[in-house]
Structure 1
Amino acid sequence: MRRKVILAVLLVAIGLVGVRHAFAGQAPAAASDPDIPIGHQDRVYSAEQYSNTVSVTDPVDNRLVGTIRLGDSLPANLSPLYKGQLLVHGMGFSPDHRTIAVVAVGSNAVNFIDTATNSVKHVTYLGRSPHEAFYTMDGKEVWVTVRGENYVSVLDGTTYEEKGRIVVPNGPGMTSFSPDGKYGYVCSSFTPETEVVTVADHRIVGRVPQASPFCPNIAATPDSKQVWFTLKDTGKTQVFDAQPPFTLLKTLDTGPITNHVNIVRNAKGMFAYVTIGGLNEIKVFRTDDFEQVATIPVGKLPHGIWPSGDGTRVYVGLENEDKVAVIDTLTNQVIATSPVGQAPQALVYVPDAVPAMSGGLNEAMTRMTVAPEGLGTNNLQPLGIAGQSTELSLVPPGANKEAKAPTSVSLSDQGLVQILEAAVTGLEPGKPYLLALASEPSGTGVLEPLQGFMTNPAGAAVVNAIGPIRQLVRSEDKAPRRYLVILPGTPGTHGTPVQIQKE
């Protein structure tokens, strides 16, 4: 008798006996679509731009299954004969959940990967610096924003060949589709305007003003009523009506390095989750009255974000920690983290990405219990060097040890050298600054400039440099130790330190 009850519970849980789910519709699907409980067939994919990998995570136990290696690290990827992918960055997936589209910004490519085998089945090369690729709701087309130019490349959803282009203002950042399939919403990273395009005939039918030019991310709500987009340069998030006349509804001041936004439906309602890279947190807003209901500390430089198939979890890539954080959406608490490759960017949660074992009970066991050995592990590799990085922080001179660091630094190992990425905040807006190495812990003494940069209107910036920096700041060699420092000005003319390396 007990075994029959257990079997019945398993069948109900996976929907094999036609039971309706309590809540419906997670991004990017429509509100009328059924939720899918978290199971071992699901996968979390993150695109990592410094290791040129896609990490694959099982969400049941938040276990890294392995990585799909699309390119090499430095210096191999600088060769004129290099054939791999460079700056793996954007990500979308097909409506049947059997293909992920992975954009490599530096090699101008969209890699189409089979989720069952983790193998690349096609690569489409496009114009300068494509950023994100998403399937239309019917799966017939893939729209790729070519951010280095002025168009959206429209690919055939089956052959993956380019079939047309939609000319838009310079620098299209990302496209999100209304779940009803009518519209594509294309925000811009260089022009302060979002375009609304009809999916059926590729006509621009609406224009929404952006408060500033740099929009990296956009998401439509499952009920096809709202569109949310982020502005990385000014630290704002804006909302407009998803239906004509596409009226701007709300502008929210969210914080420096506002990165990605996504929509979650759960027992408490519908919410927008926004990653604020400069504050190392996520802000959560209701979609009905735009009230902020939670602030969630998650780790350094949160970037991509996506809900589980049932809305009970949301997954966040931590760019300066090389991890994925898992949040319970009912408590808004981080409940787990798992390792991934270097500098995760876009992230997607794909329900039923891996085909189940055949048969009703086998399928139930696949979703709810220990994953069968080897399920969805073909062609995956361990992290290797992609799992090696060092984290540092910069604080104002004289700050106490408990002070919250305004700047986080990640050193991603590439062998003998590292790629430095600093998520800088807390500076004056629109001013020149210098990232340098100093011979003294106070930021004084002999200075070796690494990179000059200009802060954005929110007083923030993301700064990169390359070199054997870890060996210097960690004093691993006999060479004199150096300390990271930020100073106002330029290499030729600079002031006194405003941020120094935290010990």
Structure 2
Amino acid sequence: MKRATLFSSALTVFATAALSAISQVAWAGQAPGPASAPDIAISHHDRVYAAEQFSNTVSVTDPADNKLVGVIRLGDPSPGNFSPLYKGQVLVHGMGFSPDHRTIAVVSIGSNSVSFIDTQTNTVKHVTYVGRAPHEAFFTPDGNEVWVTVRGENYVSVLDGHTFEEKTRVITPAGPGMQISSPDGKYGYICSSFNPEVDVISVADHKLVGKVTQVSPFCPNIAATPDGKQVWFTLKDTGKTQVFDARSPFATLKVLDTGPITNHVNIVHNANGTFAYVTVGGLNQVKVFRTDDFSQVATIPVGKLPHGIWPSGDGSRVYVGLENADALTAIDTLTNKVIATVPIGQAPQAVTYVPNAVPEGDGTQNTQPLGLAGETTHLSMVPVGASPATDSAPTSVALFDQGLLQVLQASATGLQPKTPYVLGLSDNADGSGNIESLARFMTNPAGSAIVNAIGQIRQVVVPGTNTAGDKRRYLVIAPQVSGKPGAPVQVQAL
């Protein structure tokens, strides 16, 4: 009996240790939830959503097999959306989801709207119109409010989380970029796109309780760690990522140089620890940092202009929207390797992963095939005299088809900081000859810029698509000299 008792005790100890180990993994918690929340294993009930700015769609992807379910069309492509009788949404951009995982909130910048979509049926159940140029929207952890940063003005529109109607406003410096709540729901952290200040707001009474100085003005994205200890935010103008203490007095902990066109950041907890994943468009990489000592542990090549990023419900993957590649990339967070790439709509911006979004059925209702939303031409630009075969292309160009027209978007890097440039069409491949201006732009302090134009551009710059009799032209970037294009510094790769 004594041996049996010892054996039984040993089994009890082993079982207790095993359950403890399991519980540590199963109760890790992923952003935006708390560390105490259970991990949710990847399944066909989960969905990855991406807000696609130029096709005005939301793509719906099943992460269990990394296949596109379809797109939810919120608006029409250009020039149909120029009509005074147009009723759809324009520039579909930001995205958040409710704590019960049954609703996604999709922000459209051009139509000043937040569309609330049922995740089970993919139907729009309500549209709330807010102030000028909203950017992002997210529910508070209790689900009772939705905070919408109205970047074109100076406030956060606080909506009722059940009726979706505005109940109050939180006044901020001009241009609030994004907000996220602390996992316990105590604070709302609001970074700015126009002023170097993060405001910390008490969620209970909507009062200002703290401020954090941003090291530069333009913050597009912010994330809180599930343990409630840190807040990370990106600075797109200077290519930095800043970290501050999530608790009063909200002191800055670290400023990291992450690279030109630093876009979004999100937090992942897995067996190796807790990490911040940062998308860097100018380098076409995702950089991974530890949250304990801020050391960089990985650099992951992902494709052209990575933008939104979100972890799976168990932290085993992160999903990244590739803005200039019309794709969604899945990364294994234990190996930090790309494991899948899914074609989606045009110019994905925000990305969210919603565990158990579809409790039953296949969740394909009210989605459409990709269609025109998947039609894009991809080009690149290189320094004058460089060989595309041996030199990396610093500027990627996407021509998003809108029917007869295309929206051009160039992710320009490798230029002089804070300098005026022209994106134009040259008569000759080497940039010589007459240059016709398409867009003028100013680079940020990191020597980068996102440049947009619209027109029948593909028809003149892509071989084989020229209309009979039309002369072939070539994309160039040149500095502005006395208001006119100077000698080109980058030319279209052939």
* TM-score in same-fold range (> 0.5): yes
Aligned to 2:68: 64
Q: For residues 200-215 of structure 1, what are the structure 2 equivalents within 5 Å? A: 200-215=204-219
Aligned to 1:156: 160
How many angstroms does 1:398 deviate by?
A: 1.4
How many angstroms does 1:181 deviate by?
A: 1.0
Distance, in Å, in 2 between the alignment partners of 1:414 and 1:493 is 29
SS at 2:485's partner residue?
A: coil
Q: For residues 23-422 of structure 1, what are the structure 2 equivalents within 5 Å? A: 23=26, 24-356=28-360, 375-400=362-387, 401-422=389-410
Alignment-mate amino acid for residue 444 of structure 1: S
Aligned to 2:456: 468
Aligned to 1:363: none
How many angstroms does 1:45 deviate by?
A: 0.1
Q: CA RMSD in A?
A: 1.0
In structure 2, the gaps of 5 or more residues are: 1-21
SS at 2:487's partner residue?
A: coil
Aligned to 2:415: 427
Distance, in Å, in 2 between the alignment partners of 1:490 and 1:125 is 42
SS at 2:416's partner residue?
A: coil
Distance, in Å, in 1 between the alignment partners of 2:222 and 2:106 is 17
Aligned to 1:367: none
Contact 2:435 2:485 in 1 (8 A): no
How many angstroms does 1:493 deviate by?
A: 2.7
How many angstroms does 1:356 deviate by?
A: 2.8
Aligned to 1:366: none
SS at 1:472's partner residue?
A: helix
**Per-residue CA shift, 1:9-47, capped at 9, x if unaligned?**
xxxxxxxxxx84724100100001000000000000000
Q: Does 1:483 align with 2:463?
A: no
Distance, in Å, in 2 between the alignment partners of 1:21 and 1:130 is 39
Alignment-mate amino acid for residue 391 of structure 1: H
Aligned to 2:486: 495
Aligned to 2:25: 22
SS at 1:489's partner residue?
A: strand
Distance, in Å, in 1 between the alignment partners of 2:150 and 2:230 is 24
Alignment-mate amino acid for residue 218 of structure 2: F
Contact 2:260 2:282 in 1 (8 A): yes
Aligned to 2:437: 449
Compared with structure 1, are the counterparts of its residues 79 and 183 closer, same or farther at alpha carbon in structure 2 (3 Å cutoff)?
same
Contact 2:411 2:451 in 1 (8 A): yes
- When normalised by structure 2's length, the TM-score is 0.94
Distance, in Å, in 1 between the alignment partners of 2:292 and 2:482 is 49
How many angstroms does 1:446 deviate by?
A: 2.3
How many angstroms does 1:491 deviate by?
A: 8.1
The total of aligned residue pairs comes to 468
Distance, in Å, in 1 between the alignment partners of 2:431 and 2:52 is 32
**Per-residue CA shift, 1:123-159, capped at 9, x if unaligned?**
0000000000000000000000000000000000000
Contact 1:27 1:222 in 2 (8 A): yes
Distance, in Å, in 2 between the alignment partners of 1:160 and 1:30 is 24
Alignment-mate amino acid for residue 448 of structure 1: E
Alignment-mate amino acid for residue 190 of structure 1: F
Most deviating of 487-496 and 386-395: 487-496
Distance, in Å, in 1 between the alignment partners of 2:374 and 2:75 is 15
Contact 1:449 1:491 in 2 (8 A): no
SS at 2:58's partner residue?
A: strand
How many angstroms does 1:355 deviate by?
A: 1.3
Alignment-mate amino acid for residue 313 of structure 1: R
Alignment-mate amino acid for residue 420 of structure 1: L
Distance, in Å, in 1 between the alignment partners of 2:454 and 2:484 is 23
Contact 1:219 1:262 in 2 (8 A): yes
In structure 1, the gaps of 5 or more residues are: 1-18, 358-374
Distance, in Å, in 1 between the alignment partners of 2:286 and 2:138 is 24
Contact 2:234 2:241 in 1 (8 A): yes
What is the percent sequence identity of the aligned residues? Answer: 71
Contact 2:31 2:268 in 1 (8 A): yes
**Per-residue CA shift, 1:292-342, capped at 9, x if unaligned?**
000000000000000000000000000000000000001101111001100
How many angstroms does 1:445 deviate by?
A: 1.4
SS at 1:77's partner residue?
A: helix
Alignment-mate amino acid for residue 437 of structure 1: L
How many angstroms does 1:397 deviate by?
A: 1.1
SS at 1:391's partner residue?
A: strand
Aligned to 1:14: none
Contact 1:238 1:250 in 2 (8 A): yes
Contact 1:452 1:491 in 2 (8 A): no
Compared with structure 1, are the counterparts of its residues 490 and 420 closer, same or farther at alpha carbon in structure 2 (3 Å cutoff)?
farther
Q: 4+ residue stretches of structure 1 with deviation over 6 A?
A: none
Most deviating of 56-65 and 21-30: 21-30
How many angstroms does 1:246 deviate by?
A: 0.3
Distance, in Å, in 2 between the alignment partners of 1:346 and 1:140 is 22
